[in-house]
Chain A
Amino acid sequence: MNVTDDVSTMAILEPSSTSAVNPSTAHSSAEDVQAPTIIEPRKGWWHFNWRDLWAYRELLFFLVWRDVKVRYKQTLLGASWAIIQPTLQLVVFTIIFGRLAGVNTNGIPYPLFNLAGLLPWQFFANTVGQAANSLVGSASIVRKVYFPRLAIPTASVLAGVVDFGLSFLILLALMVWYRWPPTPAMFLLPLFLLLAMFTAMGVGFWLSAINARYRDVRHATPFLIQLWLFATPVVYPSNLVEGYWQFLYALNPMVSVVEGFRWALLGTQPPGLLMLISVMMAVTIFSSGLFYFQAVERKFADII
């Protein structure tokens, strides 16, 4: 076995082999010196390949681009769905909670109050739903090509930003209609959107990875999202939750996202220290999702 040869491009050898190639000598004559790709069973529990994720950033872009493009190509009404869907939901919520239930919004017109929460919520709910089914939906690619699998649920979440941007126009229109001036804090909106994205990715990593093995996730996800909606102050103001319950409530990062949106857009109470709990929770969901995903990732091609 002659793996120390200078032009060796591929070698399969056993782990204990004494003739292991030093990549720098193996490629000393080549122009672009590249570390070899090592294929072997993973040991330990954390082996995240950041280098690969970076190398495949263009693929991530193309997956996002495909998701956006296909979504609007296949439908009769195209991009207007991003506007119609939240508008209709807004009308329903306004009638039920604004008029019939008479939810107290501290003087903010109910449609405005609702939409400021509905937008980030819809972004979250839609992207989590898409991400959960994304891996299984890409089974044909996963079985035939290597690339960092993380790109698939990540693309689902990123593609949702485009929808969000479109539906944001309704909110702007509504603010003009109600002559509601934006606050300077509006520039902090991207931060709250980022928090929602972060949470959605974490949940998306979890659900998509579990879905690869247990297809029950497809049925459980809508239910989970529905429950989550009621745990988020979209249709009601968050001050309904009082005292120590607030700490528990803040464990849902979407609470701070919605509160942040209302504060930045409508000038309600700024999200307080409870936001720290939300951010920590989002980080926990994200990193645990990432961890679980990469732990089961190597089996995807076989079980999907």
Chain B
Amino acid sequence: MGYVTLRDAIAERLRGRTQKATTTELWALNGVSFDVQQGEVVGIIGRNGAGKSTLLKVLSRITEPTRGRAELYGRVASLLEVGTGFHPELTGRENIYLNGAILGMRKREIDRNFDAIVQFAEVEKFIDTPVKFYSSGMYVRLAFAVAAHLEPEILIVDEVLAVGDARFQKKCLNKMQDVGQQGRTVLFVSHSMQSILRMCQRAILLNQGQVVADGPAQQVVGVYLGKGTHSIAERVWPDRASAPGKEIAHLRAVRVRDVDGDVSDTIDIRTPVTLEMEFVVTTGGYVLMPHFRLYNEDNIAVFTTLDLDPEWRRRPRLPGRYVSRVTIPGNFLAEGSLYVEAALTTLDPPIGQFAERDAVAFQVIDSLEGDSARGDWAGNLSGVVRPLLPWTTIYEPSA
């Protein structure tokens, strides 16, 4: 990582909270410095609040930095949200032009790409219908299609791919990859390590407004997720020495498996996900309680689940290798990244054996097909979980 240079260069004051006393001052970004070469596709990663969005906003010229300087050579287009400026009363055709202009496209550029946009969005039949009549899926597809046909030299993209069905997401990722291959420079913020690894040769890891790592994507993603693993959905400790644990038991592997049983870091919100921990018991005779705790992007513990398998619940374990699995039902977790803590403790007396924070991580992706908890709603849905719950209605006709 020879080209990492940390300097006091670009900085941004956290919005609005600095008016009264200087003691409340918070720097969302400070001392961030890097070069990007033409044609590079660079992923920006980090936890929420690490300064990723502020960096993109500064580079997109939406907010002005308090200190520092950035130089951008070439036309810049930023895509921090899909469908910015879409007007529900206007038709698909009209919105393509309006949205394109807002994103910085010239009219002739839109003219030239118009058919491609419509085709990409798969809305040919409804192009002259006001978008307020569009399904949420069509709306998002059209919005992304416009953005995907931007032709800037520098493209700045925030995580806008976390909506849409899996097939369309894949299409979007492919399109973004093409953009990178056309010699354009792309800055890409995402929580999905899979997308980062697939699209970017290089990644920059931010933490508390500073660059922590900058280098080959594989390596930086590894730094982000702990120690260099290949997939973030699987982590293996090959030998006893490196494995977390104590004299009774130690951890050997943690995995995230999708509904087909494959190791995967991308989970459709509608399908169950299985967490798996493999551990070795070296001292027998203790009752053990394996458990998982899930954290979301905001570092909130979503829940803790204890192994209550009746077969092993009160039974002292013999030395040997164990694999414990728990399945979290579909339509329960909220969309976004989830970080898994794998832990194990003895019960009587309670002695923690290991508690591995961020052992693995996965991304829950919501569906826009109307059969998840978001129904036909394409906008934001807050909440730590997103269960699909039965509703009933009692109706009384007015007299």
Contacts and interface: CB of A to CB of B under 8 A. Distances in A.
Partners in one complex: yes
Interface of A: 1-3, 5, 7-15, 21, 23, 26-27, 34, 36-42, 56, 58-59, 61-63, 65-66, 69-70, 73-74, 138, 140-147, 298, 301-303
Interface stretch (B85-93, B242-250, B307-315, B354-362): B85-93
Nearest to A141: B85
A13 B321 CA distance: 53
Interface stretch (B35-43, B261-269, B271-279): B35-43
A62 B101 contact: yes
Given A1-B35, A15-B68, 20 more contacts: A2-B3, A3-B35, A5-B35, A9-B74, A9-B154, A11-B35, A27-B73, A34-B74, A36-B71, A38-B71, A39-B61, A41-B68, A61-B101, A62-B97, A62-B101, A66-B87, A66-B98, A141-B84, A141-B102, A144-B62
A10 B103 contact: no
Contacts of B33: 1, 12-14
Interface centre among A9, A27, A138, A146 (most CB of B within 10 A): A9
A143 B62 contact: yes
A41 B185 contact: no
Interface of B: 3, 5, 7-10, 15-16, 32-39, 57-76, 78, 80-81, 84-85, 87, 89-90, 94, 97-98, 101-104, 106-107, 153-154, 185
Contacts of B81: 144
Interface centre among A14, A23, A301 (most CB of B within 10 A): A14
A138 B85 CA distance: 8
A70 B87 contact: yes
Given A62-B97, A141-B102, A146-B60, A12 B68 contact: yes
B85 A301 contact: no
B37 A12 contact: no
Contacts of A144: 62, 80-81, 84
Contacts of B66: 41
Contact of B65 (A21, A41, A143): A41
Closest 6 CB pairs of A and B: A146-B61, A62-B101, A298-B64, A9-B38, A39-B70, A40-B69
Contact of B106 (A2, A3, A58): A58
Contacts of A1: 3, 5, 33, 35
Contacts of B84: 140-141, 144-145
B102 A39 contact: no
A74 B89 contact: yes
Main secondary structure of the interface of B (DSSP, over half): loop
Main secondary structure of the interface of A (DSSP, over half): mixed
22 contacts: A8-B37, A9-B36, A10-B35, A10-B36, A10-B73, A10-B154, A11-B35, A12-B69, A21-B73, A38-B69, A38-B72, A39-B59, A39-B61, A39-B70, A41-B65, A69-B89, A141-B85, A141-B102, A144-B81, A145-B84, A146-B61, A301-B57
Contacts of B71: 3, 10-13, 21, 36-39
Contacts of A143: 62
A146 to B, nearest CB: 4
A30 to B, nearest CB: 8
Nearest to B101: A62
B76 A37 contact: yes
A13 B67 CA distance: 11
Given A9-B36, A145-B60, A36 B89 contact: no
Nearest to B35: A11
A86 to B, nearest CB: 24
Contact of A41 (B34, B64, B85, B94): B64
B103 A36 contact: no
Contacts of B16: 302-303
B72 A36 contact: yes
A62 B9 CA distance: 37
Given A7-B38, A70-B90, A38 B70 contact: yes
A10 B101 contact: no
Contact of B102 (A3, A59, A303): A59
Nearest to B97: A62
B98 A14 contact: no
Nearest to B130: A73
Contacts of A41: 64-68
Given A39-B58, A59-B101, A10 B64 contact: no
Contacts of B64: 39, 41-42, 298
Contact of A145 (B9, B72, B78): B78
Contacts of B10: 12
A152 B80 CA distance: 20
Interface centre among A5, A27, A62, A65 (most CB of B within 10 A): A62
Contacts of A26: 73
B90 A301 contact: no
A303 B215 CA distance: 35
A40 B7 contact: no
Nearest to A56: B104
Contacts of B3: 1-2
A12 B107 CA distance: 31
B5 to A, nearest CB: 5
Contacts of A37: 61, 71-73, 76
B70 A40 contact: yes
Interface centre among B34, B39, B64 (most CB of A within 10 A): B64
Contacts of B39: 7, 9
Contacts of A36: 71-73
Contacts of A13: 7, 9, 33, 69, 71
A14 to B, nearest CB: 5
Contacts of B72: 9-10, 36-39
A147 B104 contact: yes
Interface centre among A1, A13, A70, A303 (most CB of B within 10 A): A13
Nearest to A303: B16
A137 to B, nearest CB: 12
Contacts of B57: 301
Nearest to B64: A298
B254 to A, nearest CB: 37
A40 B65 contact: yes
B102 A7 contact: no
A66 B94 CA distance: 9
Contact of B9 (A12, A63, A65): A12
A141 B39 CA distance: 28
